[in-house]
Amino acid sequence: QQQVKQSPQSLIVQKGGIPIINCAYENTAFDYFPWYQQFPGKGPALLIAIRPDVSEKKEGRFTISFNKSAKQFSLHIMDSQPGDSATYFCAALITGTASKLTFGTGTRLQVTL
């Protein structure tokens, strides 16, 4: 049973565009939502994270939008660059418990010139 559903599976945008990656969850006990970025042949790296008490968080060109009532959150990449081409994973966690991070299935982003 997939607890975090991520879409789309792949995405191609032109340089300067704003790719949007969406994630949805069922378990309302989730209270920490990180995004990881993974380049080919490398391990994932934490990009940005949000808790459900805020609706938006920005770090540089990366923004997370969070809709608690819809149980959805999304990653926006402003002014996307070819160097942003990577696979992006959303994830969810229930803090203070057994602390198991549940990942989405990933979105492969390609930013073209």
Q: Kindly list the residues in this chain that would bind other proteins in the complex (CB under 8 A).
A: 6, 9, 32, 34, 41-46, 49, 89, 93, 95, 98-106
Nearest distance, CB of residue 41 and other proteins, angstroms: 8
Which lies closer to other proteins via its Cβ, residue 7 or residue 17?
7
CB of 97 to other proteins, least distance (A): 9
Closer residue to other proteins (CB): 18 or 46: 46
Q: Between residues 16 and 60, which has the closer beta carbon with respect to other proteins?
A: 60
For the chain, the helix, strand and coil percentages under 3-state DSSP, each to the nearest 5 = 5, 55, 45
CB contact at 8 A, 87 and 21:
no
Token match 């805020």: residue? 54
CB of 14 to other proteins, least distance (A): 26
Residue 88 neighbours by CB distance under 10 Å: 24
Q: Rounded to whole angstroms, how far apart are CA atoms 55 and 44?
A: 25
